[in-house]
Amino acid sequence: MNVQLKTNDLEAFFMPFSANRQFKKAPRLLASAKDTHYFTQDGRKILDGTSGLWCVNAGHCRPRIVEAIQKQAAELDFAGTFQMGHPKAFEAASRLVNIAPKGFDHVFFTNSGSESVETALKIALAYHRAKGNASKVRLIGRERGYHGVNFGGTSVGGISPNRKMFGTLVAGVDHIRHTHDLAKNAFSKGEPEHGADLADDLERLVALHDASTIAAVIVEPVACSTGVLIPPKGYLKRLEAICRKHDILLIFDEVITGFGRLGTPFGADYFDVSPDMITGAKGVTNGTIPMGVVFLKSHIYEAFTTGPENAIDLFHGYTYSGHPMAAAAAIGTLDTYQEEGLLTRAAQLAPYWQERVHALKGLPHVIDIRNIGLIGAIEFAPIPDAPAQRAYSRFVKCFERGLLVRQTGDIIALSPPLIITESEIDQLFDIFTAVLKEAD
């Protein structure tokens, strides 16, 4: 049924990360979706250039996932996982461990990326305590990092507008510098050449705070939400080595880079780096039912399972950890990824994708283009005294012409579903090029 909303029907919903009044004056409402497209209420077809919100990796309303959710809803609606269980949660965990990078043999379930981050940060603190290193309590993030919106994630996050409304946040947090360097690396194809040494900024924080006080470092392998900052060649390996040297846990936040976005199952695979924990969400259920995951190596899990067998191992969890519907959706999603080879498909598309995205060079106001896997980003020179306006107006124009992109600051990010074809990539860039040519 096509529900028509009247203008004032939009008032009640306080929309997240949105300019509510501006949106409600000129709403963009999506009514249905199939494969690589959305359809608006008035029947317009919109090419999904951003996989919903970086989550619909297998495309929209895929039959196996729809069927798994429908079946589960009728069979077992809810069962908890505190001192109880249901088979689908265990099945989903085993299936996830099978595609996780080497050494990750346990999964903790949450309901979102933000909750996965909180869980990983708390596990890091509890791990060191369990190991007799209770002074290791500091958490290190990175400038321009995004780790969701809960207190821990906001604190280790490094995007200033996300932080400044909310006071002092969690104590004992510090940040290493971000890796974005337009002067040296603009228009890099894939990983930029310059900046591996920025990882040494962690040594600065070790010198300042002492390693005996630092529990963990959390970074996104590719910092996507802040506008796609791709790590310089060798940077992540160097960060890993410094963490190892000082017994600091390394957490990769793979809420976006997980589940095939870079052309490998996880970013850890792509960069050949082996963190201690990996956080995920979004693509785990193809965006259908909220679910988050924290992948753990056995040395982390086993730090909690040495006490008496009847003792609770970790005083942490959510009512909906491993929810039956989410678990069923994850299994249907993994079936789809595996049957269609989607966890590595971005690697096949990447050369063509790179060629098309870099062909935008020279269009008005474009000051940088970046790409990795099936991700692209175009950065615009800001309009003086009107930051973000230039990219925002292009985002609106793209939508009017039938293309959904993601705008953040003066950057537009592109990350279509991994099922996209080359001719759809052509359509995407044809629309985008036309918008960039005509916009002022």
Ligand X SMILES: Cc1ncc(COP(=O)(O)O)c(C=O)c1O
Residue 423 Cβ, how far from ligand X at the closest point, in Å? Answer: 29
CB closer to ligand X, 114 vs 431: 114
Does 118 engage in binding with ligand X (CB under 6 A)?
A: no
Does 258 engage in binding with ligand X (CB under 6 A)?
A: no
- The dihedrals phi and psi of 290, each to the nearest 5 degrees, come to -55, 130
Does 431 engage in binding with ligand X (CB under 6 A)?
A: no
Does 256 engage in binding with ligand X (CB under 6 A)?
A: yes
Indicate the burial class of 169 (C-beta count within 10 angstroms; 0-12, 13-18, 19 or more).
middle
Does 146 engage in binding with ligand X (CB under 6 A)?
A: yes
B/e letters for 387-419, b = 16+ CB within 10 Å, e = fewer, are: ebebbbbbbebbbebbbbbbbbbbbbbbbbbbb
Q: Which residue has the tokens 């008035």?
A: 42
Does 52 engage in binding with ligand X (CB under 6 A)?
A: no
Does 117 engage in binding with ligand X (CB under 6 A)?
A: yes
Provide the residue type at 376 as one letter: G
Between CA 313 and CA 319 the distance in angstroms is: 17
- Among the listed ranges 145-153, 191-199, 304-312, 319-327, the one in contact with ligand X (CB under 6 A) is 145-153
Does 253 engage in binding with ligand X (CB under 6 A)?
A: yes
Does 196 engage in binding with ligand X (CB under 6 A)?
A: no
Q: Are residues 114 and 108 in contact, defined by beta-carbon separation less than 8 angstroms?
A: no
- Among the listed ranges 87-95, 129-137, 219-227, 299-307, the one in contact with ligand X (CB under 6 A) is 219-227
B/e letters for 111-127, b = 16+ CB within 10 Å, e = fewer, are: bbbbbbbbbbbebbbbb
Residue 55 Cβ, how far from ligand X at the closest point, in Å? Answer: 8
Does 51 engage in binding with ligand X (CB under 6 A)?
A: no
Count of C-beta atoms within a 10 Å radius of residue 290: 19
Does 224 engage in binding with ligand X (CB under 6 A)?
A: yes
Does 220 engage in binding with ligand X (CB under 6 A)?
A: yes
Q: Please state whether beta strands 37-40 and 30-34 pair in parallel, antiparallel, or not at all (unpaired).
A: antiparallel
CB closer to ligand X, 162 vs 371: 162
- Among the listed ranges 73-81, 112-120, 328-336, 396-404, the one in contact with ligand X (CB under 6 A) is 112-120
User: 48 has which bridge partners?
Assistant: 404
Residue 246 Cβ, how far from ligand X at the closest point, in Å? Answer: 24
Return the C-alpha torsion angle 155, 160, 162, 167, nearest 10.
Answer: 60
User: Smallest Cα–Cα separation from 322: which of 330, 310, 314?
Assistant: 330
Residue 92 Cβ, how far from ligand X at the closest point, in Å? Answer: 17
Does 281 engage in binding with ligand X (CB under 6 A)?
A: yes
CB closer to ligand X, 180 vs 356: 180
Does 112 engage in binding with ligand X (CB under 6 A)?
A: yes
Does 113 engage in binding with ligand X (CB under 6 A)?
A: yes
Number of residues assigned to the chain:
440
Which residue is at the shortest CB distance from ligand X? Answer: 113
B/e letters for 322-352, b = 16+ CB within 10 Å, e = fewer, are: bbbbbbbbbbbbbbbbeeeebbebbeebbee
Does 215 engage in binding with ligand X (CB under 6 A)?
A: no
| Site for ligand X, rule CB under 6 A | 112-114, 117, 146-148, 220, 224-225, 253, 255-256, 281
